[in-house]
Structure formats: structure tokens, C-alpha cells
Amino acid sequence: DAMVIQNPRYQVTQFGKPVTLSCSQTLNHNVMYWYQQKSSQAPKLLFHYYDKDFNNEADTPDNFQSRRPNTSFCFLDIRSPGLGDAAMYLCATSRATGGTETQYFGPGTRLLVL
């Protein structure tokens, strides 16, 4: 089945220790998104790739970076995680055709910062 895969499902890191979360997709979608969702909050878009073009949201901290080495994979790098970065991180994909397209989500990675 075509899907969005996120690894790991749970990640524990130490305060200030860089961490990388990964996302892969078999949908062959050209757009990939990263969201942060904290408890009882709405998912918040951090950035997205439209093909190879990176689009950062204005309020995304510089601490968060992303890489997309090819169509299938996208990584979220948190350079120096703080306690406030503990959250669920959701990857999503869509096939943009000029209009608004439905986004399909992975299961998420829950990040704990100790």
C-alpha cells in the first residue's frame, strides 16, 4: 500500500543534543510537509518542500532545519532541542497540481527532550 512512513515513532534526546527525524513516502507526491503538534493544540506547519524548493514558515525557529535529498525522503533536523520542542512531529505529502490538494499524513514521531 502507498503510504507515508515516519521513523522512529518515538525519539528521546537530551537537551541541546541534535536530533534528526525522517519521513519517507511511496505516494510519489511532489510536496512534503513537516508539522509540529503539541498536546491539545492544532498541528502547526513548520515548512514544506514543493519539489526541491524549500518554503519556511515565517515563525519557524532557526533551530529547525530540513533536507529533502530526493522525492521519497525528507528529514527534520533539530539542531539544539529545548524542552519546549517536545511534541509530536507529523510529516505529510500531497500532489500539487495547481489547486489545493489533500495532504496525507504519516503516523508521527513523538519527541521527548530530557
Partner 1 sequence: DQQVKQNSPSLSVQEGRISILNCDYTNSMFDYFLWYKKYPAEGPTFLISISSIKDKNEDGRFTVFLNKSAKHLSLHIVPSQPGDSAVYFCAASSNYGGSQGNLIFGKGTKLSVKP
Query: CB of 86: closest distance to partner 1 in angstroms?
Result: 16
What DSSP assignment string belongs to 32-79? EEEEEE-TTS--EEEEEEETTEEEE-TT--TTEEEE-SSSSEEEEEES
- Count helices and strands in the chain by DSSP H and E runs: 0, 11
CA diameter of the chain? 43
Query: CB of 48: closest distance to partner 1 in angstroms?
Result: 7
- 91 or 113: CB nearest partner 1: 91
Residues at the interface with partner 1 (CB under 8 A) = 4, 6, 9, 31, 40-45, 48, 90, 92, 94, 96, 99-108
- 40 or 70: CB nearest partner 1: 40
Query: CB of 112: closest distance to partner 1 in angstroms?
Result: 14
